[in-house]
Amino acid sequence: MSSLNFKNASIVVVGGAGFVGSNLVKMLLKDDPSKVVVIDNLLSSDVANVPADARVKFCFASITSDQGLGAIPADVEYVFHLSCYHGNQSSIADPFADHENNTFTSLRLFDRLKDAKSLKKVVYAAAACAVAEKTYDQPTATTEEQPVSLVHDSPYSISKLIGELYGNYYHQRYQMPFVKARFSNVFGPGEILGAGRWRGTVHTVWRNVCPTFIWKGLHREALPLDNGGNASRDFIFVEDMARGLMACAMDGEPGGIYNLATGNETSILDLATWINEFAGNPTAPDLKPARDWDRSGKRFASTEKSRRELGFDAQVEVREGLRRTVEWTRANRELIARTMAAHSKQMQQAGAPLRPEYFPQGV
Ligand SMILES: NC(=O)c1ccc[n+]([C@@H]2O[C@H](COP(=O)([O-])OP(=O)(O)OC[C@H]3O[C@@H](n4cnc5c(N)ncnc54)[C@H](O)[C@@H]3O)[C@@H](O)[C@H]2O)c1
């Protein structure tokens, strides 16, 4: 992977105000592109994530709308499609909102891009969780060729696969230069608890395990570990993910698929232990028993193909990434408290009130 690949390039990042999208935008800017157009309806993100930079144009709209599609420049060369309806639980609470923001989005975008002459690559954020086997036995690395089940736990998971299917179709039929990046679990600075609109469940605030544990750890709470924290994931630091997406855009084979992961398993117990260490949390984790319906299991992804074909390897160790994320959270406490506080009433109604100590300055 060489640097300065995107110099003078015309780039669109759909969902570019989001956690991964905003990190990608920041990294792309280092290559000095001519412009980066961010199209985002701020459904699960905060505008604070969009860098103030003359090369960044922000369009506050859904990519399903004429306004959103109209923001794609005529000379567009690279498109990163990172928008989704975040996340699994929200999609279960409102499958129609998921359809609108996670399935229809892909169809509208790809159909708009099918005749774009200047287009060099469309990179799609696919999800490894939609294909990985759910097991508590010794897992094997999930490869890009893993068979895909027709039975899924959430509309989110279905939508992520439909995005792959539509992209494959537009690639075959119209030669849209489509590359799938299958994400493992991403963590890092820029994932703002409570960012965006209320999406029907407490997971609007408590989005993912890393930011949730870090916030609770900084507030000296016992981190809840289902099944003793025995489940595992392949956690990848967001800067590595951004580099991987750029590698997909530069060197990914049109029609190809690449895992973006570390290839390593981290248990939730290790994750919690490290977070408590960096957050200075003296409270021991709350080890809970396994639940009958728990299907989370253990998993990690194979990195062989992305290493071989993209020259991509994750560089930041999980421990080091967590240390940096705890630092970022400390430095951004007020921003995060503000986005969480916007959902205080709904959290109360959902039976999960937010603690007053999260808001020392009031709300
Ligand atoms: N974070 C992970 O661990 C992970 C794992 C697997 C896959 N992914 C995928 O990576 C992508 C980025 O995830 P993230 O963690 O940054 O989530 P995120 O919620 O921070 O980002 C998604 C962005 O899409 C925007 N969006 C939603 N509907 C939109 C619409 N109709 N039009 C335009 N923008 C819209 C949201 O406002 C948000 O900014 C998603 O596609 C997600 O499915 C993420």
- Say how many Å lie between the CA of residue 135 and the centre of ligand 1: 26
Q: How many Å apart are CA 342 and CA 345, to the nearest integer?
A: 8
* Mutation probe of ligand 1 site: the residue of 20, 159, 203 with most atoms within 8 A of C-beta: 20
- 142 close to ligand 1 (CB < 6 Angstrom): no
Mean pLDDT of 38-59: 98
Predicted pLDDT of residue 289: 84
Does pTM top 0.85 for this prediction? yes
Mean pLDDT of 48-68: 98
- DSSP-assigned letter for residue 332: T
- Say how many Å lie between the CA of residue 86 and the centre of ligand 1: 6
Lookup: tokens for 177 = 């230069």
- 181 close to ligand 1 (CB < 6 Angstrom): no
Q: How many Å apart are CA 332 and CA 320, to the nearest integer?
A: 18
- 326 close to ligand 1 (CB < 6 Angstrom): no
Do 33 and 52 touch, CB atoms closer than 8 A?
A: no
Q: 176-231, pLDDT tens digit by residue?
A: 999 999 999 999 999 999 999 999 999 999 999 999 999 999 999 999 999 999 99
* Mutation probe of ligand 1 site: the residue of 83, 96, 154, 236 with most atoms within 8 A of C-beta: 83
Mean pLDDT of 253-266: 97
**Is 2's pLDDT higher than 50?**
no
Q: How many Å apart are CA 21 and CA 17, to the nearest integer?
A: 6
Q: How many Å apart are CA 77 and CA 12, to the nearest integer?
A: 8
- DSSP 3-state assignment of 302? coil
Of ligand 1's listed atoms, the one at least distance from the Cα of 39 is: 33
Domains of the chain listed by start with CATH number: 10-191+234-264+297-318 (3.40.50.720)
pLDDT classification of 257: cutoffs 50, 70, 90: very high
Burial (CB count <10 Å: 0-12, 13-18, 19+), residue 164: buried
Do 105 and 267 touch, CB atoms closer than 8 A?
A: no
Q: 311-350, pLDDT tens digit by residue?
A: 999 999 999 999 999 999 999 999 999 999 999 999 999 9
Q: 290-303, pLDDT tens digit by residue?
A: 766 666 789 999 99
**Is 159's pLDDT higher than 90?**
yes
Predicted pLDDT of residue 115: 93
Q: What proportion of the chain, given as a percentage, has pLDDT over 70? A: 97
- 43 close to ligand 1 (CB < 6 Angstrom): yes
Which single residue is written with the structure tokens 């007053």?
356
- Say how many Å lie between the CA of residue 85 and the centre of ligand 1: 7
Q: How many Å apart are CA 65 and CA 70, to the nearest integer?
A: 8
- 20 close to ligand 1 (CB < 6 Angstrom): yes
Mean pLDDT of the chain: 95
Q: What proportion of the chain, given as a percentage, has pLDDT over 90? A: 90
Of ligand 1's listed atoms, the one at least distance from the Cα of 17 is: 39
Mean pLDDT of 58-77: 98
Q: How many Å apart are CA 75 and CA 256, to the nearest integer?
A: 24
Cβ-based neighbours of 253, under 8 Å, separated by 6 or more: 179, 309
Predicted pLDDT of residue 292: 65
- 186 close to ligand 1 (CB < 6 Angstrom): yes
Of ligand 1's listed atoms, the one at least distance from the Cα of 83 is: 24
- AA identity, residue 305: K
Q: How many Å apart are CA 347 and CA 204, to the nearest integer?
A: 9
What are the angstrom distances between the C-alpha of 149 and each of 4, 130, 161, 295, 360?
40, 8, 10, 15, 47
Do 184 and 235 touch, CB atoms closer than 8 A?
A: yes
